[in-house]
Structure 1
Amino acid sequence: MRKDSRLSRALHVLIHLSVADKPVTSDKMAAMLLTNPVVARRTMALLRDQGYVRSIKGHNGGWSLIKPLNEITLLDIHKALGESSVFTIGLTDEHDDCIIEHSVNTALKDAMNEAESILLARFGEVTLSSLMDIYR
């Protein structure tokens, strides 16, 4: 099962944008993240729509951070990217008539929901500037 790395990639890019002396192109971001420029643009568009970055077209154009890192949390970026589940563990649904499957799914779902609530609450406490502190 493929991991969803959009959050970590977006955080990576935002930290780089905070220290960039000029706008960063989608091509440069894509090279940094080992992905396609279209993927970089789509991700950045989600962040732009929420007011974290802006894009400048033309020569010397690219993406720039417009909100200070101390005003952005991990939860903000998670939400901007579409609030996918933070866990990739899935429940089985192959045997709808099996009471064991229902019991297992209920236990897993309850535990994952509780863990996700705790994790998202913690995401809301961590600003991107605190990630930048590690960099310095």
Structure 2
Amino acid sequence: MKQNSQLSDVLHVLLHMAEGEGPATSEALAAAMQTNPVVLRRLMGGLRDAGFVVSAKGHGGGWVLSCDMDRITLGDVYQALGAPPLVSLGFREDQPTCLVAQAVNDALAGAAQEAEALLLKRFGAVTLATLSNDFHHRMAQHKALGHAGHHHLQEHTHENH
């Protein structure tokens, strides 16, 4: 089963936007996510509707953050993406008549609900500013060890990390 990486992808892109100079095009952001610009625009639409980003058309246009990073939590971004499932446990049967299956389903569903509640609580405690500060701390350590600096979004590949 393929894992849903939308939250991770969008957080990655938002941090690149925060670090970048000026608007970032859908094409550049999509390249960073290794996806199609249409997919990127659909994901960014929820963030725009939530008031976290704005886009400008035309030459020099693109996506920019529209509010302070310390106001946006991981939970906010998660909600703006449509609150995709966090825990994906499947049931042998959705509406079992078997009493054993009912007991199994109830135990698994209860555990999944508790796990999601904990994740959402933690998501609410972490802001984009927290992630940015962590990035800058890591960058300082990276430079102190004599490694090259942060690659710009246009040069972004997974090998650069």
TM-score normalised to structure 1 length? 0.95
Q: Are 2:107 and 1:96 aligned?
A: no
* Distance in 1 of aligned mates of 2:85 and 2:37: 25
Rg bigger for which structure?
Answer: 2
Do residues 50 (structure 1) and 66 (structure 2) align?
no
Figure out how many residues of one structure are paired with residues of the other and give that number. 136
CA deviation vs aligned residue, 1:85-108 (integer Å, no higher than 9, x gap)? 211222221672211111111000
CA contact 2:89–2:108 (8 Å) conserved in 1:
no
1:66-77 to 2 correspondences below 5 Å: 66-77=66-77
Calculate the TM-score normalised by the size of structure 2: 0.81
Distance 1:53 1:45 in 2: 9
Please report the RMSD computed on the Cα atoms of aligned residues, expressed in angstroms: 1.2
Pairing 1:1-136 to 2, within 5 Å after superposition: 1-93=1-93, 96-136=96-136
Deviations 1:10-41 (A, max 9, x none): 10111111111111011111111110010000
- Sort the Cα spacing of 1:56 and 1:106 in 2 relative to 1 into closer, same or farther, 3 A: same
**Unmatched tracts of structure 2, length 5 or more:** 137-161
Task: Find the aligned partners of 2:105 and 2:90 in 1 and give their Cα distance.
Answer: 9
> Identity percentage over the alignment?
45
Query: In the alignment, residue 55 of structure 1 is paired with which amino acid?
Result: S
Cα displacement (A) at 1:63: 0.3
Stretch deviating more after TM superposition (82-91 or 6-15): 82-91
Q: Name the CA distance, whole Å, in 2 between partners of 1:94 and 1:109.
A: 11
Question: C-alpha separation between the residues in 1 aligned to 2:16 and 2:111?
Answer: 35
Q: Distance in 1 between matches of 2:94 and 2:68?
A: 47
Report the secondary structure of 1:64's partner residue. strand
- Bigger shift: residues 84-93 or 70-79: 84-93
